Amino acid sequence: MAEGLLIPLVAGIIAIGVLAQLVAARLQVPSIIFFLFAGVIIGRPGLGLVTSESFGSALPAIVGIAVAIIVFEGAFHLEFDRIREAPGAALRLVTVGAAIAFVGTAVAVRYFVGLPWELSFTVGALLVATGPTVVTPILDVVPVRDRVAAVLETEGIVNDVTAAITAVVIFEAYNPTASGDGIIQGFALRLGEGLLVGAIVAGILYYLLRYVDLSPGAAPRNARLLVLAGALVSFAAANELASEAGVAAAATAGIILGNLDVPYKSEITNFKGDITLLVLSFVFIALAAQLPPQAIREVGLGGVAVVLAVAVVLRPLLVFISTVGDRFTFQERLFVSAVGPRGIIPASVATLFAIELRTAAEELGNPALAHQADLLLGTVFLVIFATAIVEGGLARYIAEYLNVIPMRVIIVGGGQVGQALAERLEDRGENVVIIEEDEQALEEVRNKGYAAISGDGTDTEILREAGASNAKIVVAATGDDDVNLLVAQLAKSKFDAGTVIARANNSDNVDAFEELDVRTISSAMAAAWAIDNQIERPAIAHWMTDIGRDGDIQEIEVTNDELFGKTIRELGPMLPDACLVALLSKGDHDSAEVPTADTVVEEGDHITLLGRRKGVRDGMKFIDP
């Protein structure tokens, strides 16, 4: 392509990428789907506007810079506190699970596509990687429980690194024009060099950010640019030592720096997120455009068989093995099994491998290598396309069908009240996040296994970090009424939370809370009610105290159209055993009453179910499927 057309081409690809982002956000699906389709349309399979000659020899360098930014940005978000949500499952996913995917995929490629064993294991290594480029957009639109998100994010970051290095080592052992080290030695060398370079760069960046005057007026901007430069330097320096060691270096630098207390962290995060979106869209579109039309055709049904083996057989197998013994529900394990799309690392590295094989084919006069390059590229991209479109595009629907999108409840205050409430809510399957400022209380909360954020609950940014924008309920449960009142105000005015509940430690403050339309629980009145219950109705009081062990009470909105127009007399036999209708309210919770047998159920009514735990849960699914 003429040099004069290169700038319009790059600008056009970026514009298409931004448009794809807007469409994806509107439809709430991962943007990678539109990137891939856009690349195919404007590239070799479609209009031919972008080909392998469009960027000349600059494509590997462009891809390298993009990978450095993307991997660093994903690792920067991976905080150790999140990994602690499910450390056992995360560790098994990146070890046992990765090994199952690696070997199983290689065997499938060997027997279904017919590549030599060395290239089959190369493809197997590449397709271990999921990566933040495809996982993060899914989690943005599917707010699953924190422990589920934590294992998916950890798996994506770690497997990106190990997959890239393993694939390069195996490929160099096969490539006749390369002179590589032994497989184990090559892997250890690249990983070790990447870890070392990444740690050194992270240390230098930390020192500069913390202890060097970055010019007060422009400090946030300079901090952002400094971190961006650090990501590129770590990648480039490690790659000079050994190919693909840069991926490990960028990931290491990102994880270390992201877990340190550095200034302007939120500004750095937002800036790098915007840069990542641009380079991600450009690289995915450019790489998809390079795909030779014959590559997909040549893999044929064998490639389809590999896709099925990877997504339908190996993924569920490794997930269920890796999550044994952890707190994941069966539905959550199914969801993780259904979400394993492949991302930028397989696409970029496979493209570079195909280029090297074609070059070797010309140098050695061996057309078989060119054919193998097409098979390698076609297999990898077919898996990327299939998993991105099906798993990425349907992720939210799968999550809703499996009911793994829990109601997020934010509790400000991790004292005895907050912890007791969190225990009961988590037992019912809710996604609870506790905000606590006191370090000792915070440590106690985390030791008990609750998701917790350190900070002041009256800080808007802390509430936003906890997920207040998506929370259905915000509970202010501290021992300070002034704090609870301010939390309630912020939840109502800034985040428009569906329900705000506040603890009033002093009964004289109840009116101030209720003026904000906040549901208020007076500590004094709550104690009086509890004592009265023990005096007047000890059996029900004892049963209520033990909710979550044998019994349960839940309120649910009626959405099952089979029930519209039915009377309570007709509804009763349709409910599970040991599940009764206790109350019914029509829109307004204050209008709740014990229904008669002839009370008619209408759409939008709220029914309170009382009974044994399993019966109530099954009844909830029936009333609100």
19-56 tens-digit pLDDT: 877 877 777 676 777 787 888 888 777 777 777 677 76
Q: Which of 115-119, 196-200, 273-277, 595-599 is least confident?
A: 273-277
Which token pair is 258?
């992201």
Asked whether residue 457 carries a pLDDT value surpassing 80, the answer given is yes
**Among 382, 372, 235, 246, CA closest to 307:** 382
β partners of residue 483: none
At 580-616, the pLDDT tens digits run: 887 788 765 567 788 888 888 888 788 888 888 778 8
- Residue 309 CA to residue 102 CA, distance in Å, equals 12
At 48-57, the pLDDT tens digits run: 777 767 776 6
Select the more confidently predicted residue: 544 or 436: 436
At 371-417, the pLDDT tens digits run: 888 888 888 888 888 888 888 778 888 887 887 877 678 888 888 88
CA atoms within 13 A on the CB side of 462: 19
Asked whether residue 546 carries a pLDDT value surpassing 70, the answer given is no
- Residue 261 CA to residue 259 CA, distance in Å, equals 7
DSSP 311: I
Which contiguous run of DSSP H or E holds residue 331?
helix 330-338
- 229 neighbors 205 (Cβ within 8 angstroms): no
- 502 neighbors 512 (Cβ within 8 angstroms): no
Give the percent of the chain with pLDDT over 70.
88
For residue 548, name the pLDDT band (cuts at 50, 70, 90). very low
β partners of residue 611: 552, 579
Which contiguous run of DSSP H or E holds residue 557?
strand 551-557
First CA to last CA distance, the chain: 56
Q: Which of 364-368, 545-549, 605-609, 615-619 is least confident?
A: 545-549
Residue with tokens 């997504």: 311
Strand ranges (DSSP E) for 17-56?
Answer: none
Asked whether residue 9 carries a pLDDT value surpassing 70, the answer given is yes
Select the more confidently predicted residue: 124 or 510: 124
Is residue 434 classed as helix, strand or coil in its secondary structure?
strand
Angle at 592 between CA 586 and CA 595, to 5 degrees: 85
CB-based burial of residue 568 (10 Å sphere; 0-12 exposed, 13-18 middle, 19+ buried)? middle
Select the more confidently predicted residue: 483 or 86: 483
- Strand pairing of 431-436 and 606-612? unpaired
- Strand pairing of 499-504 and 606-612? unpaired
- 253 neighbors 195 (Cβ within 8 angstroms): no
**Among 379, 394, 380, CA closest to 342:** 380
